[in-house]
């Protein structure tokens, strides 16, 4: 097998795995908790890093979402009461995003679903490395 073929095969495998898991995750999180995958990922980040920084910036930095997608996702989460926006006084362009109590609760519940879906649809050894 040439290295090109290996490359394409690896990509195909990644594509398949991703779509399989993402599709199930999206459905399960939405049905059980009213969250999209991206929204869950945002909550997950917020739970992980509970220090004070310019959140929008930082969130965007280690996520795959574009700035605009993140902005809207946070807007949805705020509307649902899972997250709160707060002005940053030091630099009034910045916006802090923090979990609400309800947000933490929802994340805790959704985490179960998240893990369950990963466990049943993500085979850890299935990558196409050759």
Partner DNA sequence: GGACACTAGATGCGCGTGCATTCAATGTCC
Partner DNA sequence: GGACATTGAATGCACGCGCATCTAGTGTCC
* Site residues for DNA per CB under 7 A: 23, 27, 36, 38, 54-57, 60, 64-69, 71-76, 85, 88, 91-95
Across the chain, which distance is largest between two alpha carbons, in Å? 59
Residue 129 makes contact with its own copies by CB under 8 A: yes
Question: DSSP characters for 92-113?
Answer: TT-EEEEE-HHHHHHHHHHHHH
Structure tokens given for 37: 């995958």
Please choose which of DNA, its own copies, none residue 86 contacts, taking the beta carbon within 5 to 8 angstroms, the exact cut-off set by kind: none
Question: Which residue, chain included where needed, has tokens 């009034």?
Answer: 92
Q: Given CA atoms 104, 68, 21, 125 in this order, what sign does their dihedral have? A: negative
Structure tokens given for 17: 């795995």
Please choose which of its own copies, DNA, none residue 130 contacts, taking the beta carbon within 5 to 8 angstroms, the exact cut-off set by kind: its own copies
Binders of its own copies among residues 89 to 118 (CB under 8 A) are 114-115, 118
How far apart (Å, rounded) are the C-alpha atoms in residues 42 and 26? 14
Task: For DNA, give the closer residue by CB, 21 or 88.
Answer: 88
Residues that bind its own copies (CB under 8 A): 4, 6-8, 10-11, 14-21, 23, 64, 114-115, 118-119, 122, 124-125, 127, 129-130
């Amino acid at each position: 097998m040439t290295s090109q073929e290996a490359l394409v095969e690896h990509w195909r495998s990644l594509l398949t795995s991703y779509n399989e898991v993402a599709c199930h995750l999206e459905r399960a999180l939405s049905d059980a908790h009213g969250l999209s995958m991206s929204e869950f990922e945002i909550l997950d980040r917020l739970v992980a890093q509970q220090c004070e920084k310019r959140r929008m910036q930082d969130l965007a930095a280690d996520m795959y979402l574009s700035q605009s997608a993140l902005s809207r996702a946070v807007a949805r989460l705020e509307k649902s009461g899972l997250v709160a926006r707060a002005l940053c006084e030091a630099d009034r362009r910045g916006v802090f995003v923090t979990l609400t109590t309800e947000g933490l609760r929802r994340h805790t519940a959704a985490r179960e679903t998240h893990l369950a879906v990963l466990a049943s649809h993500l085979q850890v050894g299935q990558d196409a490395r050759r």
